[in-house]
Structure 1
Amino acid sequence: MQHPVSAPIGVTVPNYADRIGFAQLTRQAFEGVDLQPLRDQLVTRITEGAAHAGEGLDLSLIVQLLGDKAAGLAIQSEVLTFHQLFRTAAAAPRPGLRVLALAADIDMGGNTPIEFLLEGSDFELLTLYVTKDVGLPETLPDHDVAIVVASDSEECREPLALIEKAAQRWPRPLLNRPDLIGNLDRDKLYRLLAGIPGLEIPSTIHATRAQLTDLAQDRIACEDIACELRFPMIARPRGTHAGVGLAKLDDAPALAAYLAEREEQDFFVARFVDYASPDGLYRKYRLAMVDGKPYACHMAIADRWDIWYLNAYMAFSEEKRAEEAIFMLDFDHAFAARHKTALDEMSRRVGLDYFIVDCAENQDRELLVFEADNTAVVHNMDSPVVFPYKPPQMRKIFAAFTAMLSRHAREGKASAA
């Protein structure tokens, strides 16, 4: 039952369903564990009417991990029609803090993977799925601190709006407010960060297929779409992530060929920034901004501009890994110090308690921002044998995240006293 807008929100004893959860299942898939037997076991329990809601949600994730996104989402939506609250147990027998994550009915990459950030802690995680059909319950499950984990995607617009309506009457500290998450969309972020000294972020413009077709056929110029736009440009279908449909287009014929291969009607376009280092290689960084402070998540090095960590093949290059290790070791007094003014102002303008930044340095050594979001994966799954420098760095991020939650929980209790 949806919570009345004008009434104060109360709390009650949580009625949750236990689940294996995102972190454990994703780690198993990452390590090559065959999830098919567990999938078959859960399907059998559901068929026999013996499964509980948490097992249904686990099945949804397993099916997505096995490659069938549509079927996994269908299972998840079915489960959420009759149960919305799920628990991932703390590592300790008695939880030190109870965290309420507010999620949306979206694919496995659409909510902050908070379970990774809480791994090994004594925090109990309750995840409440807020859907447009059910909304928020009249009384919330009791918790010490809440955080919104839904993304800035179109599918999350209604859940975020429902949470925002209740935010002023939230009974506990509420982190990552929904109205701020909405600013992370690609065509909003560049406006938010415009004019920060030492920071470059190209204008990301929404363009329709019709506009781009006119541009490809020389009926209009780049400036008719946006004053900053020019060839070469970067294009991607609106709403896509992880490099899906991403392309560098050098001229109008390249744009025409790109459109011929795509079916989408809406795109994001931006001018291309050549951020190659003097050695000809591209270096792309992922930072976690936790409580206003930057932390190094990874550094990808490749001979291509469209880098993400997997296609940089860091595991196969000892030289690249050595450079990444130095980047992490020296981060506070090197990269973070070099870009302190830009990072501080970016954090202030974004305003979120926790978010991720994918960035580089342009050829003037300014901070070049590609995107920011609250749902990118920060994990400790990489082999400690191949990446011995990563576990300490990940634990540093996780400790900062849990310290942030603890601080807000303490402040919430103090203000209520």
Structure 2
Amino acid sequence: MLHPLSAPNYADRIGFAHLTRKAFEGVDLHPLRDQLLARIAEGTAQAGEGLDLSLIAQLLGEKEAGLVIQTEVLAFHQLFRTPSTAPKPGLRVLALAADIDMGGNTPIEFLLEGSDIELLTLYVIKGSGLPETLPDHDVAIVVASDSEECREALTVIEQAAPRWPRPLLNRPDLIGNLDRDKLYRLLADVPGLDIPATVHATRAQLLDLSQGRIVCGDITEELHFPMIARPRGSHAGVGLAKLDDAAALAAYLVERQEQDFFVARFVDYASPDGLYRKYRLAMVDGKPYACHMAIADRWDIWYLNAYMAFSEEKRAEEAVFMLDFDRAFAARHRHALDEMSRRVGLDYFIVDCAENQSGELLVFEADNTAVVHNMDSPVVFPYKPPQMRKIFAAFTAMLSRHAKARDEAGEGSAA
């Protein structure tokens, strides 16, 4: 039962964006880690410092240790504040997060960069659920992902959603649409959009396929070699492979220990010049924005392995992509993007996509937790800061619009 809003009992923290930026810029985080460890040893550390220490450990590659610290902190304190840079906040946003690694919640702090918004993050913990009295806020947004580890948190929020006292964005029942094996069913018949069927396959099924006891069509009708395989639940390309035939599948299974996988047909989306171009879009309030364009001579491309910083020619093409986005890429795929946004139904999400060789929008995945940031060097990427600020402005305008709509509708209703 949700009770009236109260003055929040939060703990301040340095926060995700600030610490990640330091790591990105090459700042040595070990001295800060040691300082926080000393405060914990003395018994003088605050809850926010404990959460910062958890993140520092993860940024230093100590993921398991960081998660242990985080879980220990969240056992006794769940509400944290990332202060606004403005003397007086213009808006109070409540982010509803899960106890998961640093990539498992929407990195909303980056999106609020330079704004007058005060961010409160409430961790919805297994067994604890939501507090009886919610902290006062103007608008709330669910930042937990569609991953298995977040299911319980999403269920708790979903049960409370109909009685939420403020506008609630990225509603939990819609976040599940982003699962790899659900998204393709949701978007399968959108005109001008190509999304390969991504289906769950067990290790036993793939072993049978590799040994000729079953055929691709026994797993799903449109599957064929070459195919894409990845361990279920993996991210950032971990375990991702293109398998050309049964022998390649057999060799892949020798290397992987997982029991569950996602498989899909391979789409050769190479451009006429032989290079692959992969795009990241932010969908904000139903409108697409360009986040980046990665260009490489390999199909398994993401921004880091495209080495964009080392190619003036690639960066020049990315700059044109961003500059002309509204009248070029977004215009070409307007109907597909509009329909995708409508069906997914989220206020904010990210799409990784390309164009197939027929010119259709080829969708690889969509999620609500990919990092959209303004950390790249303005010297090397002078065209990026204005584009990132455009996305941030759209995001904060969306939050303000929902808060304002509620105010205009009266105290008791949500936008």
- Same fold, TM-score > 0.5, yes or no: yes
| 1:196 aligned residue | 190
Name the counterpart of 1:140: 134
> In the alignment, is residue 404 of structure 1 matched against residue 398 of structure 2?
yes
Correspondence 1:115 to 2:109: yes
The match for 1:271 is 265
After superposition, the C-alpha distances for 1:121-165 in whole angstroms (9 at most, x for unaligned) are 000000000011211000100000000000000000000000000
Write the distance in 2 (CA, Å) between the matches of 1:9 and 1:334: 49
Match of 1:243 among 234, 237, 243: 237
Q: Report how many aligned residue pairs link the two structures.
A: 411
SS of match in other structure, 2:152: helix
For 1:283, the aligned partner's letter is R
Q: Which runs of 4+ in 1 moved over 2 A?
A: none
Secondary structure of the corresponding residue to residue 295 of structure 1 = strand
The aligned counterpart of 2:64 is 70
- Aligned residues: CA RMSD: 0.5
Residue of structure 2 aligned with 1:359, choices 329, 353, 360? 353
1:375 aligns with 2:369: yes
Is residue 166 of structure 1 aligned with residue 160 of structure 2?
yes
Residue 34 (structure 2) pairs with residue 34 (structure 1) = no
- Which one of 292, 295, 305 corresponds to residue 286 of structure 2? 292
**Cα deviation per residue 1:2-32 (whole Å; 9 max; x = unaligned)?**
xx3xxx4321000000000000000000000
Provide the secondary structure at the position in 1 that maps to 2:238: coil
Q: Work out the CA distance in 2 between the residues paired with 1:49 and 1:413.
A: 44
Give CA deviations for 1:58-88 in whole Å, capped at 9, x if unaligned.
0000000000100000000000000000000
Alignment partners' CA distance in 2, 1:61 and 1:381: 18
Percent sequence identity is: 84
- SS of the counterpart of 2:140? strand
1:9–1:170 Cα contact (<8 Å) kept? no
- How far off is 1:414 after superposition? 1.5
Q: Provide, for residues 166-201 of structure 1, a one-character-per-residue CA deviation record: whole Å limited to 9, x for no partner.
A: 000000000000000011000000000010000000
Partner of 1:234: 228
CA-to-aligned-CA distance 1:220-259 (integer Å, 9 cap, x gap): 0000111011000000000000000000000000000000
What TM-score results when the alignment is normalised by the length of structure 2? 0.99
Instruction: Look up the equivalent residue of 1:49 and give its one-letter code.
Output: G
User: Corresponding residue for 1:94?
Assistant: 88
Unmatched runs of 5 consecutive residues or more in structure 2: none
Report deviation, 1:416: 2.1
Of residues 6, 9, 32, the one that matches 1:15 is 9
Q: What is the SS of the residue equivalent to 2:70?
A: helix
1:386-397 equivalences in 2 (<5 Å): 386-397=380-391
Residues in 1 aligned to 2:62 and 2:372: alpha-carbon distance in whole angstroms: 23
**Separation in 2, partners of 1:239, 1:283:** 25
In structure 2, C-alpha distance between the alignment counterparts of 1:344 and 1:226, rounded to whole Å: 28
1:54 aligns with 2:41: no
What does residue 81 of structure 1 align with?
A: 75
Superposed CA offset, 1:81-119 (max 9, x none)? 000000000010100000000000000000000000001
- Gap runs ≥5 in structure 1: none
Please tell me the residue identity of whatever aligns with 1:266. D
Task: Report the residue type matching 2:241 in the other structure.
Answer: A
